[in-house]
Amino acid sequence: MSDTPTPLPENPAPDPWLGLRRYTAARIALGRTGTSVPLRELLAFRLAHAHARDAVYSLLETERLLGELEEFKLPIYHVRSQAENRSQYLQRPDLGRTLHEDSSRALQDSAPASSDVALVLADGLSATALNQHALPLLRLLVPRLQQASFQLAPLTVAEQARVALSDEIGVALHAQLVLILIGERPGLSSPDSLGAYFTYGPRPGLTDDARNCVSNIRPEGLSYPAAAEKLFLLIQESLRRQLSGVKLKDETGLLE
Instruction: Detail the residues annotated as belonging to a binding site for adenosylcob(III)alamin.
Output: 163, 184, 213
Beta strands in 65-220 (DSSP E): 76-80, 115-122, 155-159, 175-183, 194-200, 211-217
Beta strands in 9-114 (DSSP E): 76-80
How far is residue 60's CA from residue 77's CA, in Å, rounded to a whole number? 15
How far is residue 119's CA from residue 142's CA, in Å, rounded to a whole number? 9
Cα→Cα distances 203→41, 164, 171, Å? 46, 9, 6
Q: Residues within the annotated binding site?
A: 163, 184, 213
How far is residue 161's CA from residue 243's CA, in Å, rounded to a whole number? 24
Sequence-ordered list of residues with C-beta below 8 angstroms from that of 67, at least 6 positions apart, any chain: none
